[in-house]
Amino acid sequence: MGLDGYVGGFETQQRARRLQEERDERAREFDVRKQQQQQQRDEDGGGRRGGGFNNRSSLVGFRGSSTVEEEKAFANQSVGLLTREEYAKKQEKVRLELEKEREAKERTRREKRERQKAKDNERKRKEKNLLSFHEENEEEEEEEE
């Protein structure tokens, strides 16, 4: 802890030791949170690795308007000279892929909201059942008396 050579009273040594332990604990908590955030970023595909500007496997580099996204994705996929027909086909292909990506993201968001809503409804139903059940027991006990 670094207090081996400390010269001072017993109380100040105890205080210094306690403060050092608190600092160490906060540093450990910070490291744990940092690792969790990194894992979450890796799982979500976020961060710089997943959708960076220079990542050609990703269709969307920066968040912007759809036309900017389409232009960047198209520029990443088209190299060299293209005929007019090839240009139009590639542009349409990129636009459709981006639309599919957006729809998939929206679908996952919607499903997540629906799952959360279902969980909330289930929790509320259980709470209501517990309360209703509790009241029914009280009524039954009153009737028995």
Q: Mind listing the pLDDT tens digit for each residue in 11-66?
A: 888 888 899 999 999 999 999 998 888 888 888 765 444 444 444 444 444 444 56
Average pLDDT over residues 5-15: 81
Alpha-carbon distance of 50 to 57, in angstroms, equals 9
pTM exceeds cut of 0.75: no
pLDDT tens-digit readout, 94-119: 888 889 999 999 999 999 999 999 99
Alpha-carbon distance of 120 to 112, in angstroms, equals 12
Q: Using CB atoms within 10 Å of the CB of residue 69, give its burial: 0 to 12 exposed, 13 to 18 middle, 19+ buried.
A: buried
